[in-house]
């Protein structure tokens, strides 16, 4: 039975996350304190007490999700044998940490910088994202290709599960044209509460600065395969993982394709590690005849 660990992405955060770990588990508390020191502010206070609006800010959300996922990874290391890893968007950093490619300190610093840069890019070049429900991938891609021209951008950003795709683009232009997807057969088109056009060409300025930081770090070859966002394929080579992590910021997240490739490669056990259960839901909507579980709260780990 081959087991894949899936690491949560943005949108899985919630006020109160990690509080149970901090109260009870010494190892978790040490990592939480370390993250606060590395960041130079109390991420733990934002996780524990909110407010929700602050926790939703990309610059805080991303390190919060990474920290939660890293702690779950560490505390399940002796209980859950992983054969491969994958992470949704920012979750890919936790996947790389889990596979021994980057250290905890390196990951915290990179994720924090990524969140800051994406937040700034969204302020400099206003963008937004819409969930499009009930549309075939190829139809949506064709519509996006027809709408994108000059500096006006509308692109697929997340292929989350069959019939659930997120599009990303220039804020006013995407809002003005979002109705086209409904006209062409989408069941629902809904704007998401985000601060920018993530996984689109509008993130190029953030990508260039993030690349500088990533290229200063020596990545190690992965101890187990990492199924990457940009091509949905397993990778262990350190330089390729570095390149794909940089490309990820402006490329769509091929999550549906990752799940299908995992099933085709013989993975039967899908375990989400991190806050919430979003990836468990996406797996249920995409695959049949696989085992799906997750670790969010400390009690989930203690029950194993």
Tell me which residues are annotated as active site: 89, 199
Number of Cβ within a 10 Å radius of residue 20 = 16
Between CA 226 and CA 215 the distance in angstroms is 19
Task: For residue 219, give both structure tokens.
Answer: 């990545």
Angle formed at CA 48 by CA 91 and CA 15, multiple of 5 degrees: 65
Give all strands of the β-sheet with 154-161 in edge-to-edge order.
154-161, 164-170, 127-133, 188-191
**In b/e form, how buried is each residue of 66-96, taking b as 16+ CB within 10 angstroms?**
bbbbbbbbbbbeeebebbbbbbbbbbbbbbb
For 208, residues 6+ apart whose C-beta sits below 8 A from its C-beta are none
Between CA 75 and CA 70 the distance in angstroms is 9
């Amino acid at each position: 039975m081959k087991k894949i660990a899936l690491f949560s992405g943005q949108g899985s955060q919630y006020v109160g996350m990690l509080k149970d770990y901090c109260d009870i588990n010494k190892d978790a508390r040490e990592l939480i304190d370390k993250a606060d020191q590395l960041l130079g502010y109390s991420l733990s206070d934002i996780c524990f007490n909110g407010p929700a609006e602050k926790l939703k800010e990309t610059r805080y959300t991303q390190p919060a999700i990474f920290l939660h996922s890293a702690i779950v990874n560490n505390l399940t290391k002796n209980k859950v044998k992983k054969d491969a890893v994958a992470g949704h968007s920012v979750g890919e950093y936790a996947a790389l940490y889990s596979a021994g490619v980057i250290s905890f300190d390196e990951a915290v610093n990179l994720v924090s910088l990524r969140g800051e840069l994406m937040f700034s890019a969204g302020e400099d070049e206003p963008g937004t994202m819409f969930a499009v429900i009930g549309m075939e991938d190829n139809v949506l891609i064709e519509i996006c290709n027809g709408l994108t021209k000059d500096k006006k951008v509308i692109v697929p950003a997340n292929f989350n599960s069959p019939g659930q795709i997120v599009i990303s683009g220039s804020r006013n232009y995407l809002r003005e044209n979002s109705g086209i997807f409904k006209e062409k057969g989408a069941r629902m088109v809904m704007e998401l509460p985000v601060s920018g056009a993530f996984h689109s060409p509008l993130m190029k300025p953030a990508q260039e600065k993030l690349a500088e930081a990533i290229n200063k770090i020596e990545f190690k070859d992965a101890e187990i395969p990492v199924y990457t966002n940009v091509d949905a394929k397993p990778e262990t080579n350190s330089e390729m993982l570095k390149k794909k992590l940089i490309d990820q910021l402006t490329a769509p997240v091929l999550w549906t394709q990752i799940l299908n490739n995992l099933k085709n490669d013989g993975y039967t056990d899908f375990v989400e590690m991190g806050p919430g259960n979003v990836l468990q839901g996406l797996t249920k909507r995409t695959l049949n005849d696989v085992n799906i579980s997750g670790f969010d709260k400390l009690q989930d780990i203690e029950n194993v």
